[in-house]
Copies of this chain bind each other. A is one copy, B any other.
Amino acid sequence: MAQKPSIPKGTRDFTPVEMARRNYIFDTIREVFSLYGFRQIETPSLENLSTLMGKYGEEGDKLLFKILDSGDFLRGVDPALIEAGDCPRLAAQLCEKGLRYDLTVPFARFVVMHRQELQFPFKRYQIQPVWRADRPQKGRYREFYQCDADVIGSTSLVNEIELLGLIAEVMKRLKINVTIKLNNRKVLAGIAELIGEPDKIIDITVAIDKIDKIGLDKVNEELASKGIGDEAISRLTPIITIGGTTAQRLEQLGELLAASETGSKGVEELQTVLAGAMRMGLGEMVELDVSLARGLNYYTGTIIEVKARDVEIGSITGGGRYDNLTGVFGMPDVSGVGISFGADRIYDVLNALDLYPATITTATKILFLNLGEAEEVRSMEYLMAVRAAGIPAEIYPDRTKMKKQMNYANAMAAPYVGIVGESELAEGKLTLKNMSTGEQKVVTIEEAIKELA
């Protein structure tokens, strides 16, 4: 009996038109990665669960897609776990492998396994899908692409500046107006230190992160509710309400944090990175955002987040510096800095603003009609000549009614149709029809190729 097919929720098919658009995004990112000297790697979709588990927190462990072992997967499984219905621990016995959850952990694993072959600093990029057993919702998928670039084995801030240039170049090519928000983990640490609550940095930054949404009063309420004293809160206020240009705000921040060695270091790093960005002409695009607090458990220096200016959507790119990428795999002290382009959100932005160039098309340049046996043979000769000139071309395979073939040409958005009928056959020519103007003329194949090229 025939079954009505479907696909798992949170996953998508991509039609030719969607693929052309996605390829435009991926190709643009890939080209800029390469222009900036990053080298591509790929890792397997399947990783050992021992590599993945415990790297994304307890919540992350639950969101890993786990692969049921092949064959007799019940062998060696503890019956007590089945009895108790202990699914998490049972899963660990039933499954040895899981699907990649992000590109960072596999990259860390890659670096450790290939350390002898790699030259440091190692600049790698990686564009591959990742999988998360998240609750699917608008704009959130269970299978989606990440596009990551990282430089590891170098502490130089030149890398941060280079990554800002790279982001700006990608966004310029995609015609997306963006703001690149910058912060530094050390500044946040300095703030926590200064107000005498170094242990509460997470609470503080989570609250600061909300300032744009809920305002200062509510942030202060939230800080108080976390047990942060009035004095600390009042010391915090001038910091999170600094005004002026990015350069001015950085200067004030430097003064406010002068007593904190870590905080001062953070301000200094930000100043270096900003100066580099200014020299690259990115001054208008880059701004300091002290409330930026992403990836706090992970980042140790620069924090980067990119927002599209003309669409309401979350961050479309983000990244930062980390100090211990590979420690968990036995290779300590590997510092690096990386960014990740959110291809799916960028796709949504380009769709929302209709930013695709007109040249993106799935269509061949010319479709030859198929009007009879001898005509087909001649058309296929012409077809090969057109392709030999590097021009995508096809022939309608069946000798059906001309109207049906023209409908196909229209549906495929073919810019030209080539027609070889009886008279063209006799003349050694073809009729070349321009599908947008409707104009048609009888030409030699050489003339046709000249027009198509």
**Residue A295 interfacial (CB < 8 Å):** no
**Residue A387 interfacial (CB < 8 Å):** yes
**Residue A96 interfacial (CB < 8 Å):** yes
Are A44 and B161 CB-contacts (below 8 A) given A97-B8, A109-B7, A328-B3? no
Establish whether residues B380 and A276, one from each chain, have CB atoms under 8 Å apart when the complex forms: yes
Are A398 and B155 CB-contacts (below 8 A) given A19-B40, A87-B71, A95-B68? yes
**Residue A72 interfacial (CB < 8 Å):** yes
Cβ contacts under 8 Å, A397 to chain B: 121, 151, 154, 156, 158-159, 162
A308 to chain B, nearest CB (A): 24
Give CA–CA (A403, B7) in the complex, Å.
Answer: 56
**What residue of chain B has the Cβ atom nearest to residue A166's Cβ?**
B387
Cβ contacts under 8 Å, A114 to chain B: 13, 15
Cβ contacts under 8 Å, A248 to chain B: none
**Residue A47 interfacial (CB < 8 Å):** yes
Cβ contacts under 8 Å, A66 to chain B: 67-68
Give CA–CA (A27, B2) in the complex, Å.
Answer: 37
Cβ contacts under 8 Å, A2 to chain B: 327-331
Establish whether residues A119 and B393, one from each chain, have CB atoms under 8 Å apart when the complex forms: no
Cβ contacts under 8 Å, A396 to chain B: 121
Contact of A158 among B40, B391, B395 (CB under 8 A): B395
Quick one: copies of this chain in the complex? 2
Q: Which of A16-52 contact B (CB under 8 A)?
A: 16, 19-20, 23, 34-37, 39-48, 50-51
**What residue of chain B has the Cβ atom nearest to residue A391's Cβ?**
B35
A54 to chain B, nearest CB (A): 10
Give CA–CA (A418, B97) in the complex, Å.
Answer: 46
Quick one: CB contact mask for A117-137 with B, threshold 8 Å, 1 for yes? 101010110000101010000
Are A44 and B394 CB-contacts (below 8 A) given A3-B330, A71-B87? no
Give CA–CA (A445, B89) in the complex, Å.
Answer: 62
Establish whether residues B109 and A380, one from each chain, have CB atoms under 8 Å apart when the complex forms: no
Cβ contacts under 8 Å, A8 to chain B: 44, 46-48, 96-97
**Residue A73 interfacial (CB < 8 Å):** yes
Give CA–CA (A131, B165) in the complex, Å.
Answer: 38
Establish whether residues B158 and A279, one from each chain, have CB atoms under 8 Å apart when the complex forms: no
Establish whether residues A6 and B113, one from each chain, have CB atoms under 8 Å apart when the complex forms: yes
**Residue A411 interfacial (CB < 8 Å):** yes
Establish whether residues A158 and B44, one from each chain, have CB atoms under 8 Å apart when the complex forms: no
Give CA–CA (A370, B158) in the complex, Å.
Answer: 10
Establish whether residues B398 and A48, one from each chain, have CB atoms under 8 Å apart when the complex forms: no
Give CA–CA (A158, B328) in the complex, Å.
Answer: 58
**Residue A364 interfacial (CB < 8 Å):** yes
Establish whether residues B113 and A5, one from each chain, have CB atoms under 8 Å apart when the complex forms: yes
A175 to chain B, nearest CB (A): 17
**Residue A384 interfacial (CB < 8 Å):** yes
From A15, A129, A142, A330, residue with most partner B Cβ within 10 Å: A15
**Residue A309 interfacial (CB < 8 Å):** no
Known: A44-B143, A72-B87, A119-B412. 6 other contacts (CB 8 A): A2-B327, A8-B96, A16-B41, A36-B393, A159-B397, A162-B395
Nearest 6 pairs between A and B by C-beta? A37-B394, A2-B330, A11-B44, A16-B39, A156-B397, A37-B364
22 CB < 8 A contacts A-B? A3-B50, A5-B51, A6-B51, A8-B48, A11-B46, A13-B43, A16-B41, A19-B39, A34-B364, A35-B387, A35-B390, A37-B364, A37-B394, A65-B67, A66-B68, A67-B67, A74-B82, A151-B397, A158-B397, A159-B397, A279-B380, A280-B384
